[in-house]
Amino acid sequence: MDPVPLSISGETSPAAELSVRDAVILGLVEGVTEFLPISSTGHLIIATHSLKLESTTPLLDSKGGPLWYKAPSEKHPSGIPLTPKLAADTYIVVIQVGAIAAVALLYWGQIVGILRGLLGRNASGIRLLRNIFLAFFPVAVAGLLLNAWIDAHLFSIGAVVAALVSGAVLMFAAERWRQQPGNTSSRKEPADLTAMEALGIGLMQCLALWPGTSRSMVTMVGGYFCGLTPARAAEFSFLVGLPTLAGAAVYKGAKAGPAMIAVFGWPHVILGTAVAAVSAALAVRFLVHYLTRHGLGLFALYRLLLAGTLAWIFLR
């Protein structure tokens, strides 16, 4: 397919138009689904498909030069040209900053406790920081080592559908286990997790590298098995998500952020980030309130519905 010229100076029409409506929709989908245990990946696949942001046509700047996703190098002699799909993928990761900011504000008290712990004034805060680090470290290492393999082998509709179904089964099992006598009355806080328990949750979080699994889901389920209530498990999931999502946003933004901005423009990036922040704050509030009363069962059913929708659209 021939490259399509992209104007950065306004001389021609952009090859990859992102309307205000598109920016708002992507911001909403990212903000609402990032912290709910329903797979942001599955929803974003549907969103980008519906918004027609899946084109793999290489883009050129107004002078006819290529916009690179990965510039030519020894590893990639021909380079990887930027396409509307790759720009949209980068956009979705970058606007996670809004969701991160929302959670940081909602859980500012815990973050202050961590900062006080670093100053030796809050023992609970330093234990919470240790547990967040131990839960984050395994997935950070695994992500760096397996990123290319995952992109090549697991980022397909079939793999996402399988992950959605597998995650639903795991959630049903976790709910059944939690509701057994003796497993529902814990008053354990995230800071009360032992180092081994936090590390175990981190190892479970590695499952979320399989697109469609849901990072928040596996950390919540891991929290269940370590004795946290649904609301406390969700809280720990949110806090562990801060370094995880921030790392992904910085990595993706550094790699393709400037080219993505050239395609979509700063105003749309800012708008999407703001919408993601507001919708994430509302989603987190809803999730904690709902989990306190009902647990994960309804979200497991929803994952099965989403899996069926993806299979109907893409695999029939």
* Burial bucket for residue 159 (CB in 10 Å: 0-12, 13-18, 19+): middle
The predicted model gives 146-159 an average pLDDT of 84
pLDDT band for position 88 (cuts 50, 70, 90): confident
Q: Is the pLDDT of residue 7 over 60?
A: no
The predicted model gives 24-48 an average pLDDT of 92
The span from the CA of 310 to the CA of 257, in Å, is: 29
Residue 275's pLDDT is: 97
8 Å CB contact between 93 and 69: no
Among 12-26, 33-47, 96-110, 299-313, the minimum mean pLDDT is found in: 12-26
pTM of the model: 0.86
Residue 185's pLDDT is: 58
8 Å CB contact between 175 and 296: yes
Q: Which residue has the higher pLDDT, 19 or 16?
A: 19
Among 117-126, 174-183, 202-211, the minimum mean pLDDT is found in: 174-183
The predicted model gives 58-71 an average pLDDT of 78
Q: Tell me whether strands 80-81 and 59-60 are parallel, antiparallel or unpaired.
A: unpaired
